[in-house]
Structure 1
Amino acid sequence: MKRKALYLVIFAIAAAGAASGTWLANRKPAPPPQVAQATGPTKEATAIAADMQQVLAAYRKMIVLTQDEAGLSSTGQEEVNRVGQQLFHENQERINKIDDALESLVGSQNPRRFEAVGGLLDYVESGEGLYDADRLAFRELMQSLLASVAKDSSLPAIKLHKRISEDVDALAEIERNYENEIRAVFGRFETRSITLKREKWDSYVAYLKTLYQRDRILKDYGVVLPYPAKPEPPNQDNSPTAQKEEDEIFGKGLPRKTIVLTFDDGPHRRYSEEIAAILKQYDAPAVFFSVGRNLGTLDAHGAARLNAGAEVSRKLKAAGYVLANHSFSHAQLSKESGASLKAEILDTDTLLKAVDPQRSALFRFPYGARNKEGMHLLADAHLKSVMWNIDSLDWADPVPSSIADRVLRAVDKEGRGIILFHDIHERTVKALPAILDRLVAEGYQFAGWDGNTFRVSGGAHAAPAPVARAAATGYASSWAIVVGVDGYPKWPRLQYAVRDAEGVGQALVQKFGFAPDHVVTLKNEQATRRGILAAFHDLVGHGGTSGLQPNDRVFVFFAGHGATRKLSSGRDLGYIVPYDADPENLASDAIPMTEIQNIAESLPAKHVLFVMDACYSGLGLTRGGANAAFLRDNAKRLGRQMLTAGGTDQMVSDGGPNGHSVFTWTLLQGLGGKADLNGDGLITATELAAYVAPAVASVSQQTPAFGSLPGSEGGDFVFELPEESEFLNTNTAQLSNDAIALNTKLDAKASAPTAPVVVKDLQGGEQMIKAPAAVPVSSRQQAQRANDHGLQLYKEKQYAQAEAQFTEALKLRPNFALAANNLGFVFYKQDKFAEAARWFENAIKMDPSRAIAYMNLGDAYARAGDGEKAKAAYKTYLELAPSGSGVGYAKGQIEKL
């Protein structure tokens, strides 16, 4: 489709499909556009084509981002607008880059330059996968290209100029065709009594949503929207709005029917002066917030070197308009600090003073994003922050009439205020007269800045405090006996038992806070019959204030051989086999379960849990049930429970990851958090069994058993998961591939939170067990659990699932620096360095003292190719952690950059 191709599309719309509204809905969505390489100067054309695809992608994201935005909370709308503006400004830089490249290409003397441009026009006119609405993304580029080609009087240039002119006209027709649909998307108006059908636009937006999702776009730009906060009673004496209006100007304090017009991001070589000319017709004052780099640069001595943009600003000043500061580079200043933040503010102030020594003292933070340090710098520089309460959204909306409708409806609702426009778009130029006509007709007045205030001339919530939870387990102290036997002199040697015992002992001390001197570990020759029984009897005899107490818990772990002996009554009796047992003298050398039961009943502790990585059968069993008041009732009931690896005649499966048996590996995974089936931060013995038993049975020939021993009153042994505090970084260990493969199989059998699980009882029969009801926890604790789960998933290299958990943590607790860092590192691990840097910056903003976050930020900047920012981050790490483990690495990175 060339030259008049776009007209043919429009005529087809008008003649056939537009009336029915189905032409686009019936179209099969095409794959993302693939631009064929232009002939001629292919290097330039190919680079331009790639940039045009990025322009289109950002345009589409802005539509997805703002679609149905009215359903979001006010905070969500603010974040959507802020990220949308960031997308817009990034896209504006791409457009400027393409403008320059096209101008250079057209102005070159390459004989095939027009052929190359023709290839780019082919893409705009008939590129595969382009909807007509997509083509609006290129409208301003086409107008710039038209102006560049008009400078050449050669015959090929004249022909190309005609082609581009036809395309520009066709794009205007596309804009008119989509006017109503786009107005409905960007309007944020109240729902009317009759819902209008928008099949054409909805089909286009539905296609875009197959490419992008709002949550994904926001997250890529460092934003996770929190869950809606519960409404709090208003504080009449300390109104946040009143406080903000005092510190900054939002426009809500203006007199009724008073409007302030503001224009950001210029000066622009064409549109700023066009806007000024329109304002002059209505005698309307305005403030132009300038980006410093559009005015010039500072030399090594801090002196201003102005460029052509400064001349545009001088003309605006001469016409009576106010010049104001909009930072030097349009950075998100809430993420800046120190010298860089100061330079963003003061360098532009220096440039503005060079343009106009009486420049205004007004400043607008890009995206409205500011921090305390930035506000203090403004105060020191005698500058005043100006925000807005009416956003035209001209950065997102491509249709002038839609922009005008939005602004006028917002003005009707607010009754007064500061309107945010941008003087870098033709769409704003077109929308402005309609807005001013209506406002003048309805009696609105326009206020200008008089040096002190806006006047008509002549005519964070703080994050809620953490909710503390009382010690959930109610245990006064914790004790353990851990036994592992590999080197049996008279039984087959084992390969895993000692390592299993060591792993369990480390988990008890390092994860669950068992005092090291309360954990008795017996390995190989220490684990004789006499040694094991002596350890138990020492516990029983530990009286007095420093010994075992009625509110304590005892955990017993045995890894070694087990055996079953058939008694003359026909009943099975199980044994654990100590180091020195003789197979021929099992009854006298091994320790029968009956003796274990007696010991269990004699221990003066609240709860006792035996975990036996050995296979045998033959134990008595009672069962007690949990109820909704689990913690309260559990504290009153004695508990004597046992979890075994398997039954009689079963072999314990060796060969688990890291030298563990399959059973103990699964046990350690459960204690690591996977057995917290109801997500309340507590792992009961019942939950542990519900996770371990079916999981082990699914990957081995073992059938683990679980039950309560005689003397139990239905109490359940409880582990309270600690809050993980690890900031993910390059030194964080991940699981081996075989461990990840086994965990994937184990998790496939994991119990749902409320689902009962069938497991073997200690007699070999079947029973149904169910995790107790979850203990209520605060949103802060829910956030911690989500972060901890994300950490597990990260170590298993399940990055998408880990990202979802860290995102959930931030929704529950928006100021959670740990989760922000960890989300960033998930991006970093997937080579998404720009996204990673944004989240590391968020983590630092939330908690500036975290040295490791600066290290991560340095790594992200380095991998993204921004050496200067990487150096600054590494240097901050060295300042915060001069003796940290990463000092050598940070210094080495600085030397490389």
Structure 2
Amino acid sequence: MTVQRLAPLALLLTAALALSACQRVNNVPAALPAASAPQDGSATARLREQADGLLALHRQIVVLMDGEAALPPVQRREVQALGQQLFHELLQRQQALADAALKPGALEATTALLARIESEPVWFDADRLAFKEVLDQLATGLKSAQTLDAIKLARRAQDDLDTLAEVEKAYEQELKEVFGGFAKRGIELKREKWTDYVAKLKALHTREAVMKQHGAQLPAAADLAPEPPASAASGAMRGVAAKDREVFGDKLPPKTVLLSFDDGPHPRYTDEILDILKRYQAPAVFFELGQNLGKVGADGQVQPGNGSAVAKRVLAAGHQIANHSFTHGLMSKFELPKVKEEAANTEALLDAAGRNGDALFRFPYGARNDGALSTIEALKLRSMMWNVDSLDWSDPIPKSIAARVLGELDKQQRGIVLFHDIHARTVQALPLVLDQLAAEGWRFASYQNGQFVVSTDKAVAAPPPAPGELYRDSHALIIGIDQYTAWPRLSHAVRDAQSVRESLVTRFGFKADNVTLLTDADATRANILKALNERFGDVKRVKRDDRVFVFFAGHGSTRKLPSGREVGYIVPVDAGLNDLQADAIAMPQLQEVAEALPAKHALFVIDACYSGLGLTRGGTPAADSNFARTNARRIGRQMMTAGGADQQVADDGPGGHSVFTWTLLQALSGKADLNGDGLITATELAAYVAPAVSAIAHQTPAFGSLPGSEGGEFVFELPASAEPALSGAVAQLDDKASRLALKVDEASSAGRQPAAAASGAASAVQVTIKGLDGKDQALAATTARVDPGARVAAQRANDRGLQLYRERRYDEAEAAFKEALQLVPKFALAANNLGFVLYRRGKFADASAWFEKAVEMDGSRALAWLNLGDARLQAGDEGKAMAAYKTFLELAPKHARAAELKAWIANPSEGTRPKPL
């Protein structure tokens, strides 16, 4: 599958994908309800009518914006201006529908709305994307209602959101292909193409008709003008000759950018953007709507709302807040007293939030005239425009948004960039933009005392790219052989291969179709070479920005050449004992395969014995503070092996694995992330695995780069945990394996020594291990600590606690879960997990308290209710235990313990008492 750049029409995939609560005052009639809608006054009918209106507007925006990039400049500006107005109307309709569905007593009507979103037969597949924001608010709002019916409906809304995420992904990655099918409850795709969808909408609407309905029209051909200068391209103003009255990006020095965000503050996304800006040390100006900050009474009294607290956090983070009007209306069409009222009321709210510094104003849509500009100037405000528009309001694809911004900045070489802090997609696109700007040495500017102030230093080193951005695609060949025809049979190689494959697919996002698994009879020499050469050598399948992983578990051998040089081999299932050259696969052959790969990075992991490979090249790259960026430009070809030619590779490790693969899997669980940046490089992997394996088995793993490598590193990106909450069903290592896991961690840590980093590079530790040529080498692994933000850090602490619990290291697990809760106090999953560790140690009262906190934070967590029931039962409070069990059964009626609990609840005096862990 190839990833295609989306055509302009797909930038609309609709405007409805934005997650926003922004509203505007102009209630433009955007749609006609379906003729079949009931006309009675019931809540169900009202929600139905609101949904129809929202969908009709969604469709109109798609038609309006389809192909707009190909229009002449004047027409394109008119279309974009109307598109933004309709989009804000769409946001208002989404918010109104969500609010109506969340009203007390509307549960039956909300259920009917969900059913319609999921299965309305006359709607197209992509129509349902119009309701993503509504579903998101329902999933959150219903969950907080804390009633069982509402919680179950919240879970249903979340299921639908998950389905819509698949729809978005399908459009992003394969616009011209048919949607992939999925058989989950709710939305069932009819699999129409996007082009078919747009064609059907154009049968209902035309661009001209949409514009006419909303009081706009395309300029006639005679009125078309050439593209305006970059400084005035956004919201060109008629009747104002003195451009110096406003601030434009063309006044910035070269390679300098000022970031601006409109339409907030948003209760969620503004804070997430602040977190990103902090990591990049980038200043910004936030143009805020008065209605999002609070109200101003007829007597002029300011009544701050919830948004005012967000604005104060913006100021506390060192950024500017500025005026974006009160209602986001089209101020070029307002009477001048209305313009003054809009600006003045917002000024009062900004002052109440603590605003200081320059008083800046931005006209909504860039729509202004001389009278409006003079009016805001009379209030001592100065208009700031933009010359780089992210179009994040209309483009649902973060990569596309980032590419647009970077392309415009590259062309203009300076600029004020317009983003919106009310969209999830902006949160995803922003790090992609800032990372590239930092890599290219751009500087950030602010606006103070009537002039641009440019940072004296270049942008700081960027954190790792956003999730999913390290590689275009991932490919793997996994080989495991137990049942050799001539060589001694093994016990665990096939299981090793299967576990590695499972980890790649379920943990690291390798597509199942891209992972080839060859075991036993299938792992012949011919099949292995065919997979290596044909599958990985196909430039139509494997691209420059891909990665390739090869794992082999089986026999290895070494042949001594007449020259005295030794050559290592991996042994296929059909190899004989006496002719390695003809029957086995030599390391030079793997070297040729590695060099011929079109992929950026490749890693070969060989769980077998080797020596004398002679393939090492120049050691490992120096620690690099800009690792994530520079690594993307370097070819990487690396190999790690389990032991030397004179060593037996242990095939009897814990959990039915070899010692090497068991340690490898432990490392990939997150233990090899030595600097806590969420990435495990091949060097970090070797730095953890090699000393650990050497400490618990008589074998010495080797690691190094292959010829053709340019210092690039294969990278595993640790995912956010998808693990279940701790309960009695979570398996743990036995005592022997638990002791071994502790020994592995201690051995790996003991082998690391501080090392001096290269000038200007990150700090590092040094581990001495064998190179692929059999000689000792000092392996430098970067350990610069990275601040990932509180949410990510809490998730990683929780993941670490889960791993420690499985290893029966309860003190450390308890500390990890407490760390997670200290970072994010409302982390329900960590609260449950901390409670379960206490429960496991017999502290039932303390455990109950944490389980109670978990269900207070999130009443939909079925396992937390089960754990609470168990803890109360163990503490001797059967009444409260029964109440918790009843709630659990409502949420998880098909759980394995359901029958046992139902029997006891039905007849507690005679029924069998539940048997918790």
State the structure with more CA Rg. Answer: 1
Name the TM tier (shorter chain): 0.3 to 0.5
The TM-score normalised by the length of structure 1 is 0.48
Q: TM-score, normalised by structure 2?
A: 0.47
